[in-house]
Structure 1
Amino acid sequence: MYTEVRFYLANSLTPDVVTNAKYVVYGHECAAGLYIGYTTDPARRWQEHVRSASEKTDRNYNNSFKSAIRGFPEGFKHFIIAVASTEKVALKKESAAIQFYKPNLNTREPRTSSEYSYPFRALSESIVSSCVMKPKTKKTELNVKSDSDRVTVEAVVFTEGDKKRLKTLRAEPFERVMNISCHKASLEEFPDGSVVKLKAAPAGGPKRGAYLKAARTALITRVR
């Protein structure tokens, strides 16, 4: 697994701006094409993509991006395309970047339309520097849940505001119906009311309250 990744900085970005950014829009490019996404931790996100590409049980195993990772394991070049201070802005910039660069390895349309114009330039023409990035250490890693700590639950998909969310279908084996924290992009293909199955473990505390947490790469299977 990659412990550090060299990212080439596009669109006049500098290492200090990128390393201090809360969110970044990134690109991964190989001979098969380009993929664009956004994250708070680009090196860790690349690790997750590589791990997902190697797990045959992962629901994205056969998509074009994961197939490209397997086909060109050492052939990717990594880019930081834009930075953002909030997730809302990152989402808009990601959508604008997808509209501008037209990445052929993205399997979904932009999650939101962007009415803003950003000064994007062709990746081959806009690289002036690079930086090596390592996965950030998360506070939650001090108390990481193993798969044996998680239990399989059925949950229902619903929309709150502009985000898809999950809550358990019934209270058992917990004391009450609980919300489930998971990677939100993994819920996009499920319509509201879908019942899904996944593994989750108790989390939370006095400030946030009790909830369940699924692994970021958790397999979510539709039941009905």
Structure 2
Amino acid sequence: MQTTFRLCNGLTANQVKAALFVIYAHKINGQVYIGKTKDPVYRWNTHYDASRNTTHSEYSTPFKVALRNVQNEWLATEHYILAVSNCANEIRKFENIAICKYKSELNATGHWGYSDATEMFKPLSQWQDTVMLFRDESRDVEWGLAKDDADRDVCIARIEHGRTSPTSLVSTGKDGNFPAGYKINCSRAARKGHPVGSHVKVLVSWHASGNQLVGKKHDVFVSVNIN
């Protein structure tokens, strides 16, 4: 699984391959979608799959509709890498700035009020090189990037009401390892016995998409008191 990306804003292939996070853009019929991820090849394929899956929660979002409405979307879509970072908080900021700067019509939600004060984002037409990126098949994409506990970090999370299950787990940012507000994909059984509003300590890693955190399939959460 591989995809060719155009490099923008002075980035080099080595910088992109070495970075923990990237900001990417997909351009289709003159419209732009922007996102962040750890694995842009995997993420592009999940976008495509979601556009064809009528039961997927993102099936009716603007980007997925655009993919369905164009002929030969694999050739019609241009792929770009806009920025890189090894910091989760910084990459979220870059994503917000890029969405505003490029006026990304295909993003389902707006991230308004951010300005490119340092002018780091140049027009997509000024891309200067390309890089062929490959899906890292060694990554356990479904359950995150970690293979064992040595690859995971402690996260202080809060038990909240779930949309499709009784409870869900969300990062609080109080551990210093992960920013607040990220959903944690984890064992439902481990959440039992912890009431909504309580806090737990859990070992997690980033999902390959960079949009959520992932705990172990089988785990026992430790209750913690947060003042």
On whether the aligned pair clears a TM of 0.5, the verdict is yes
Structure 2 spans left out of the alignment, 5+ residues: 145-163, 174-179, 195-199, 223-227
What TM-score, normalized by structure 2, do the two folds share? 0.66
- 2:217 corresponds to 1:203: yes
Per the alignment, in what secondary structure is the counterpart of residue 131 of structure 1? strand
Q: Which residue of 1 is the match for residue 137 of structure 2? A: 137
Check 1:129–1:172 CA distance in 2 against 1; reply closer, same or farther (3 A cut): closer
Q: What is the CA–CA distance in structure 2 between the aligned matches of 1:154 and 1:184, rounded to whole Å?
A: 25
Structure 1 spans left out of the alignment, 5+ residues: 145-151, 187-199, 212-224
Q: Which residue of 1 is the match for residue 121 of structure 2? A: 120
Cα shift at 1:68 = 1.0
CA offsets, 1:30-57, max 9 Å, x none? Answer: 1051000011110010011111111101
Q: Which residue of 2 is the match for residue 155 of structure 1? A: 167
Cα shift at 1:166 = 6.1
Q: What is the CA–CA distance in structure 2 between the aligned matches of 1:167 and 1:34, rounded to whole Å?
A: 29
Q: Which residue of 2 is the match for residue 47 of structure 1? A: 45
Aligned residues, how many? 183
- Check conservation: 1:96, 1:116, Cα contact below 8 A: no
Letter of the 1:163 partner, please give it: G
CA offsets, 1:34-89, max 9 Å, x none? Answer: 00001111001001111111110111111110011112223100000111111111
- Check conservation: 2:22, 2:37, Cα contact below 8 A: yes
What TM-score, normalized by structure 1, do the two folds share? 0.67
Per the alignment, in what secondary structure is the counterpart of residue 132 of structure 1? strand
Higher mean displacement: 156-165 or 132-141: 156-165
Alignment of 1:31-110 (within 5 A): 31=29, 33-72=31-70, 73-74=73-74, 75-110=76-111
Cα shift at 1:140 = 2.9
Check 1:42–1:165 CA distance in 2 against 1; reply closer, same or farther (3 A cut): closer
Q: What is the CA–CA distance in structure 1 between the aligned matches of 2:103 and 2:63, rounded to whole Å?
A: 14
Q: What is the CA–CA distance in structure 1 between the aligned matches of 2:91 and 2:215, rounded to whole Å?
A: 29
- Check conservation: 2:190, 2:221, Cα contact below 8 A: no
Q: Which residue of 2 is the match for residue 219 of structure 1? A: none
Q: What is the CA–CA distance in structure 2 between the aligned matches of 1:130 and 1:184, rounded to whole Å?
A: 22
Cα shift at 1:112 = 8.4
Letter of the 2:21 partner, please give it: Y
Cα shift at 1:133 = 0.8
- Check conservation: 2:38, 2:210, Cα contact below 8 A: no
CA RMSD in angstroms, aligned pairs only:
3.7
Check 1:13–1:201 CA distance in 2 against 1; reply closer, same or farther (3 A cut): closer
- 2:20 corresponds to 1:8: no
- Check conservation: 1:25, 1:83, Cα contact below 8 A: yes
% identity of equivalent residues: 24
- Check conservation: 1:163, 1:184, Cα contact below 8 A: no
- Check conservation: 1:26, 1:78, Cα contact below 8 A: yes
CA offsets, 1:84-139, max 9 Å, x none? Answer: 11111111111111111111101112288468534211111x21110111112344
Q: Which residue of 2 is the match for residue 22 of structure 1? A: 20
